[in-house]
Amino acid sequence: MQKDLIRLTALGAVSGLLAGLVVLAFRWVIEAGQRGFLPGGLLGNYEALPGWAMLALPVGGGLALGLAFERLPEPLRSVGIVHAIQQLRHTGRPKLPLGNAVVQFFGGAFAIVCGHSVDREGPGVHLGAATGTWVGGRSEDAETFTLTVCGAASAIAAAFNTPLAGIVFVIEVLGVRYRVDRFIPVMTASVIGALVSQLAYGATPTFTLASNLEMASLEEVLLLGLLGVLTGLVSVAFIEITERTWDWAGHLRPVLAFALAGGVTGLVGLVVPQVPGISYDTLNNILNNHLGLSVLASLVLGKVLATAIAIGLRVPGGLIGPSLVIGGALGGVVGVLVQSLAIPTGGEAFYAAVGMVAMMSAVLRAPLAALMALLELTANPAIIFPGMVAVVFADVVARQMLGRESIFEHVRRLAEVVPGERVLPDEAETPEADGGQAPRDE
């Protein structure tokens, strides 16, 4: 038994290393594309594009990407976190084929470079999980399941330099049951994914944060609760628009769907130029008090619309990053407004940081992963209490209005199931979804 655990942990380390390297390569391809196409060679500098290019880039990119997708067999078009969840819910061995991972790698990178309002983290989870499946090779079903989870955790850890959040993410979002013998390899993979990120980009956090991220008075608890309620309402709107778009236009051919998504992004970008792309540069500005109230408010509306429609039209990107941007902008709005109150309050950056994790939690239904990410990104334990207040209110509102499922579960139920394969009806709580073994307490 001990030898089996040592062997599985070693394979988990290999999965974590390879998944981290694949995610790093994915990021490099995106950054190389942005430096080659955007004004001044600056990452995320879509704001500097002339008006015609702001519209033509995502529309033209959507047309080209759609034409490429239409040449692919239907099963190869299944990508992203939803694809990973579907495969983890299948009975027996997870199946994340190399072909789908290749489509995700190049399709996701191309969509992001062309300015679609999606992120690299969702594709990264798919790529990491597929890498873990490949490392599993011909191992037993339970081992392959664990190594697939190892790759997904490593991908999140490498994306944000947040190893603990990567571990909690696979529990809350992917629905993987915690077991000690499984999560020793997962922890190993997540740590190695974070090390890969640190070797490439340093140990500094993904976002540059202002230093005054703390509550100024106990009266702010009420304001944080209000921020949580607002965030919950915005997350509900975001999920509803995504589902409505999928219902209304999910049948469209990829060339029409991706071009339409690009048209929406381009038109929104003409009004709010910070919307196209991942927008992490804009989020850094929010976290350092560099944007005004009107820009923040318009960014919330524009990012919700552009991202929800892009995801609903099946653009091969993710939504974790946009949810952070939306939450940060909404928190920034609240942070600006509360400065006029008669009580001491934290700054815009404080509310933006709290809004980030509240939105992430409400959209993904992952409160612990969001709070762990907040702790690891800020290295500030004092922000956990205010973050918990906002997360509780945001989650209660979202769950009361839409149920307990994450946006990925909502979309998973709308997505086509691979013909001939049975998908488990609900959470990964059956022997098959538990890696082929009967569940047992540790």
Q: In tens digits, what is the pLDDT along the chain, a chain of 442 residues?
A: 566 888 899 999 999 999 999 999 999 999 999 998 899 888 889 999 999 999 999 999 999 999 999 999 988 988 999 889 888 877 677 888 899 999 999 999 999 999 999 999 999 999 999 999 999 887 787 889 999 999 999 999 998 888 999 999 999 988 888 887 778 999 999 999 999 999 988 877 677 676 677 777 888 899 999 999 999 999 999 999 999 998 888 788 999 999 999 999 999 999 999 999 988 888 888 888 778 899 999 999 999 999 999 999 999 999 999 999 999 999 999 999 988 887 777 788 899 999 999 999 999 999 999 999 888 887 788 889 999 999 999 999 999 998 777 788 767 666 654 333 434 434 343 333 444 433 333 3
Domain span(s) for CATH 1.10.3080.10 in the chain: 2-201, 220-414
Q: What is the CATH number of domain 220-414?
A: 1.10.3080.10
Gap between the Cα atoms of 359 and 227, Å rounded: 10
Gap between the Cα atoms of 142 and 92, Å rounded: 8
Specify whether the backbone of 400 is left (phi greater than 0), alpha (psi in -120 to 50) or beta: alpha
What's the pLDDT score for residue 415? 65
What's the pLDDT score for residue 441? 36
CATH homologous superfamily, domain 2-201: Clc chloride channel (1.10.3080.10)
What's the pLDDT score for residue 426? 41
Gap between the Cα atoms of 124 and 22, Å rounded: 8
What's the pLDDT score for residue 390? 95
What's the pLDDT score for residue 210? 65
Gap between the Cα atoms of 429 and 358, Å rounded: 27
pTM, rounded to two decimals:
0.89
Would you say 316 and 102 are in contact if contact means Cβ atoms under 8 Å apart? Answer: no
Pick from 127, 166, 169: which is nearest to 148 by CA?
A: 127
Strands (DSSP E) contained in 100-237 are none
- Give ∠ CA 69-23-41 in degrees, rounded to 5: 80
